[in-house]
Amino acid sequence: MNTGPYLDEKVQKFIEEQFIPLKSQCFWDRPTDLMKRFDIKWTPTFLIHDSEGKEHHRVVGYVPADDFLSQLGLGKGKVFFNTERFAEAIAQFQTVIEQHPNAGATPEAIFFLGVAGYKHTHDPKALRRAWDTLSSKYPQNEWTRRAEAYSEIPL
């Protein structure tokens, strides 16, 4: 965390404000207890856990600052989603989409925005809107393919 995107002030500020960071040394020839506990096989590995210690998102390898910020935001949204805090998840996924429209995590955020919207309102149109956005902006993305079934939902 001493090189690349991790030196970016926005990245550092986001981590400090949104998470409780824990940094550990990694030794590939003799894995540490933390590496074993969290099944870390490569560096850097960033894990996003909830307050109970359950993992919700993992980022492995170096990524540019904008992509890293979007991954952190996506991870935060997944914590809300997985703990059934759907309104907060929706807001978080929308933030990722608006602030990082070209980042690699954005299609996944769009997918989960649709699913969170459906789970929050029970209106399947949220799923269809996710499909429409994904198919128009990211036609070749795996998250578009995962959402293809939603194309049959009438608007």
Number of domains the chain contains: 1
Query: Rounded CA gap, 148 and 146, in Å?
Result: 6
Domain extent, residue 107, equals 4-152
* pLDDT given for residue 98 in this prediction: 98
* pLDDT given for residue 12 in this prediction: 87
Helix/strand number for the chain, H first, E second: 7, 2
CATH number at residue 29: 1.25.40.10
In the beta sheet, which residues pair with residue 46? 59
For residue 129, how many other CB atoms are within 10 A of its CB? 19
Query: Rounded CA gap, 111 and 20, in Å?
Result: 27
* pLDDT given for residue 1 in this prediction: 54
SS3 81: helix
Q: Give me the residue label for tokens 């949204």.
A: 77
Q: What is the mean pLDDT, run by run of 10 residues, along the chain of 155 residues?
A: 73 88 78 88 90 94 92 97 98 98 97 98 98 98 98 95
* pLDDT given for residue 7 in this prediction: 79
